[in-house]
A and B are shown apart, each in its own frame.
Chain A
């Protein structure tokens, strides 16, 4: 188990290194001149050149990347924002809690309800409730997240006035965006749980458990569900990455000061260090969630931990 863990953590660092390199490269080749953006169109060419020199934009690509990595590793420094002139790390840390709360609550909603609905519709296959869950799950998977956000604002804020349409300070403000963000993943998890349960439920060891005289509830929970969980964990891990992406849209729609909104604004302003920092932070989150997923695998499936 510990060997497995060390290997997985090793993968985590490799992944982050590769992601940061790719993102750095993309930003390097993106057209647009930060110096002009900072100084404005009316600035002289000399002033812009001096600014580029000061920002280190004239050095070759690899040197720039090396400097970025060096600052990050040695000083935990992600650079300075071109626009606000504040450290990027500080800017990110100010907004990241909102994004994490949003994604975390959404994934909890998705897992709890998705798994529960999946189990119910598998156990009651072809029943009315199974049909209802299936239809809603298909709708949930098909439509984009931002659309739910907009619809919910229209219904619950504008028409009914139950929840505020923006902000992220009180639970009532958090409710709508978290729900909108969770729906798609919930549907995905419900579908996956259902099909995975149905596959396991036909296996011999389930009959064996029944033949032991075990109660049906325990047959489902301790024999079927534990085995069905393995593919469901994969989906949950993958969904978290999707959720972070969806959070980006919802932060804009619900005016939540989060990482997504910060990044979208920074992209508009060509504020490369903030964009770079934001992407770096998100990839860190996704890889950590994947690490947790891998650990969960090992806990659920004894074959993985032993090999």
Chain B
């Protein structure tokens, strides 16, 4: 294993037991992220992005969820093997999380100062007064006046709440932040503000970040690397530039085609034919084969392995196997 890899996920499989049957939310997922890097994690709803994030945090509710196999190395240690107690020391301190909906990710009956202090007091050996001062400092950092520290979440707007959540996630200067669609629930104008704030703070704190999104525009704005996810596994992984210049997997191509173009007058948006597979369906061969315009006979029988187009660009597709 290389040393500069902060997080490395190998062959991760996560399933959920539901009434309709076993759902394979994540299938043999491989992923890595280096120090100070921002990884964009792109895919449709239900592709398993959030499940992967929850698996890294070890927050998958069990039952019904279960991590079937795989390894998640964080700084050389397998997070799936360490004790709960040790994991709690990593949660929040080394890896912190920003949730999708700021409206529900703050506790409505606790002052925001208390919620920031909770994080600080769990991981730092300081008294309440110092923690409070630190909480105020963090609020100022994300652009909220410290006089508002004793207010409750309902007194803030959505964008402000997400700023508070960012303050909480930064409280212990984590090495990795997992942001699960942090701007999806916000107004477009506020989205831009929050994104640029996250980008600035990430650079200031020297943190790595996994940004889960389905918005390729957001990825273009702040990510270094991009992983495209489909039906529980990563189908293409590349640096942002390479991916945008040379999208290779048919699914990635479809995604880029579906972005409306400014220079042509189109009545209908391009779309990828068909629907993503039902979570309980197990598709033989490549999961994308029913929707793929380049589908070959082989795709219906075998699962494609990883093909490296170059050192930092891989794709799971038979089209590139012999090139």
The reply to whether chain A is a binding partner of chain B is yes
Which A positions have Cβ atoms within 8 angstroms of B?
Answer: 203-205, 207-215, 222-223, 226-227, 300-303, 306
B91 touching A303 by the CB < 8 A rule?
no
B287 CB, nearest partner CB in chain A, Å: 28
Q: Is A213 a contact partner of B89 (Cβ separation < 8 A)?
A: yes
Residues of A close to B152: CB separation below 8 A = 302-303, 306
State whether A301 touches B109 (Cβ < 8 A): yes
Across the interface, do B107 and A214 meet the contact criterion of CB distance under 8 Å?
no
One digit per residue, 1 when the CB lies within 8 angstroms of any chain A CB and 0 when it does not, for chain B 71-93 equals: 00000000000000001111111
Other 14 A-B pairs with CB < 8 A, given A208-B97, A215-B88:
A203-B104, A207-B99, A207-B105, A208-B99, A208-B168, A210-B59, A210-B91, A211-B57, A213-B91, A213-B92, A213-B119, A214-B92, A226-B109, A300-B109
Chain B: which residue is nearest A205 at the CB level? B107
Closest Cβ–Cβ distance, residue B151 to chain A (whole Å): 9
Smallest CB gap from B97: residue in A: A211
| Smallest CB separation, B196 vs chain A (Å) | 23
Q: Name the CB-closest residue of A to B109.
A: A226
User: Does B118 count as interface, using CB distance less than 8 angstroms?
Assistant: yes
Taken together as a complex, chains A and B put the C-alpha atoms of A189 and B180 apart, in Å, by: 37
CB distance from A213 to the nearest CB of B (A): 4
28 contacts between A and B (CB under 8 A): A204-B99, A204-B101, A204-B104, A205-B105, A208-B105, A208-B106, A208-B165, A208-B168, A209-B107, A210-B91, A211-B57, A211-B91, A212-B96, A212-B119, A212-B168, A213-B87, A213-B88, A213-B91, A213-B123, A214-B88, A214-B122, A222-B110, A227-B107, A227-B109, A301-B108, A302-B152, A303-B108, A303-B154
Q: Which residues of B contact A301 (CB under 8 A)?
A: 108-109
Chain B residues in 8 Å Cβ range of A204: 99-101, 104-105
Q: Tell me, rounded to whole Å, the shortest Cβ–Cβ distance linking A79 to chain B.
A: 47
B189 at the interface (CB under 8 A from A): no
Q: How far is the CA of A250 from the CA of B110 in the complex (A)?
A: 42
CB closest residue in chain A, given B152:
A302
CB distance from A307 to the nearest CB of B (A): 9
Judge whether B322 is part of the interface by a CB distance below 8 angstroms.
no
User: Are A211 and B59 in contact, CB atoms less than 8 angstroms apart?
Assistant: yes
Complex alpha-carbon distance, A300 and B90, angstroms: 32
Given B101, B106, B118, B155, which contacts A212 in the complex, CB threshold below 8 Å?
Answer: B118
List residues of chain B with CB within 8 A of the CB of A207.
59, 97, 99, 105
Minimum distance in angstroms from A12 CB to a CB of chain B: 26
What is the bound-complex CA distance between A205 and B107, given in angstroms?
Answer: 5
Tally of B interface residues using CB under 8 Å: 31
CA distance A214 to B106 in the complex (A): 15
> CB-nearest residue of chain A relative to B165?
A208
The contact of A223 among B89, B96, B107, B119, by CB within 8 Å, is B107
Chain A neighbourhood of B118, CB < 8 A: 209, 212, 214
Across the A-B interface, the 5 shortest Cβ-Cβ residue pairs:
A213-B91, A213-B92, A212-B92, A204-B104, A204-B105
A215 to B106, CA, bound (A): 17
A223: B residues at CB distance < 8 A: 107, 110
A226: chain B residues within 8 A (beta carbon): 107, 109-110
A198 to B96, CA, bound (A): 25
Q: A306 to B92, Cβ gap below 8 A?
A: no
Partner of B122, one of A208, A212, A303: A212
With contacts A205-B106, A227-B107 known, is A213 near B90, CB below 8 A? Answer: yes
Q: Tell me, in angstroms, the Cα distance from A306 to B111 when the chains sit together.
A: 13
Residue of B nearest to A203 (CB): B104
Interface residues of B in 128-161 (CB under 8 A from A): 152, 154-155
Give A216's nearest chain B residue, CB to CB: B84
Q: Looking across the interface, which residue of chain A has its beta carbon closest to that of B107?
A: A205
Chain B residue contacts of A203, Cβ below 8 A: 104
- Interchain nearest-CB distance for A107 vs B (Å): 24
B260 CB, min distance to chain A CBs, angstroms: 31
- In chain B between 30 and 76, which residues have their CB closer than 8 angstroms to a CB of chain A? 57, 59
Nearest residue, chain B, Cβ from A202: B61
A305–B31 Cα gap in the complex (Å)?
Answer: 48
Does A306 lie within 8 Å of B155, measured CB to CB? Answer: yes
A249 vs chain B, min Cβ distance (A): 38
Give Cα A68 to B152, complex, Å: 48
Q: Which of A211, A215, A222, A226 has the most CB of B within 10 A?
A: A211
CA distance A209 to B109 in the complex (A): 13
B120 nearest CB across to chain A (Å): 10
